Amino acid sequence: MSQKSLVDEMHQVQLAIELIELGARLQVLETETELSRTRLIKLYKEVRGMSPPKGMLPFSADWFVTWLPNVHSSLFYNIYNSIQQNTRCERIDAFVKAYRLYEEQINLEGVEPVLGLTRAWTLVRFFESDLLQLNTCNRCEGHFVAHAHSPTRDYVCGICQPPSRAGKTRKAQC
């Protein structure tokens, strides 16, 4: 094995470990690394102490435009977009940095994270597939996740105009 291929493989393993630690599902690891499925499963078991969860990844863009998920998705995607535009990071490295910054911000605010790593990854993929876009709020001028090709004129975000039941969870009512 050449020096370069050894370095590449080490980078792939390090990336996989970092993604696993952040909560990536096996499908994300298979897409974003060049490691075999068998190797990824072994790494997952080593890092998490259990087998990777089974099941399908989220597949609907609708979740990202509902009120609370939209606030979190918009925060994450704006961070990701900024890193992409202002650095020379590779796409996956920008993604990991953006997700870490999202988690850090959420922790500073003392709220529960709504956007898991797999959903954040799916969000980026939906943008890359032109299923989602950023709309600018007419009131606060923030950029928010919306369905692609949705009207942008007179757009008001869920922060400036929250739905009537916003924040009224069962836990808050008890």
pLDDT-derived band of residue 133, with 50, 70 and 90 as boundaries? very high
121 neighbors 28 (Cβ within 8 angstroms): yes
Q: Distance between CA atoms of 115 and 119, rounded to whole angstroms?
A: 6
Residues making up the binding site for Zn(2+): 137, 140, 157, 160
| Per-chain mean pLDDT for the chain | 91
Whether residue 165 has pLDDT greater than 80: no
Determine the average pLDDT of the residues in 118-127.
96
Residue pLDDT, tens place only, 16-43: 999 999 999 999 999 999 999 999 999 9
pTM over 0.85: yes
Say which residue the tokens 């990854």 belong to: 121
Tokens, residue 132? 């989602």
pLDDT of residue 166: 66
Residue pLDDT, tens place only, 69-120: 999 999 999 999 999 999 999 999 999 999 999 999 999 999 999 999 999 9
pLDDT of residue 173: 44
Q: Distance between CA atoms of 112 and 167, rounded to whole angstroms?
A: 13
In degrees, rounded to 5, the angle at the alpha carbon of residue 106 between the alpha carbons of residues 102 and 109 is 145
Q: Distance between CA atoms of 124 and 135, rounded to whole angstroms?
A: 15
Tokens, residue 73? 């998705």
Q: Distance between CA atoms of 118 and 4, rounded to whole angstroms?
A: 30
Q: Distance between CA atoms of 64 and 131, rounded to whole angstroms?
A: 11
Q: Distance between CA atoms of 174 and 169, rounded to whole angstroms?
A: 9
Alpha-carbon distances of 164 from 65, 68, 91, 141, 169, rounded to whole Å: 16, 13, 38, 22, 12
Alpha-carbon distances of 60 from 7, 51, 65, rounded to whole Å: 37, 26, 10
Residues making up the binding site: 137, 140, 157, 160
pLDDT of residue 174: 45
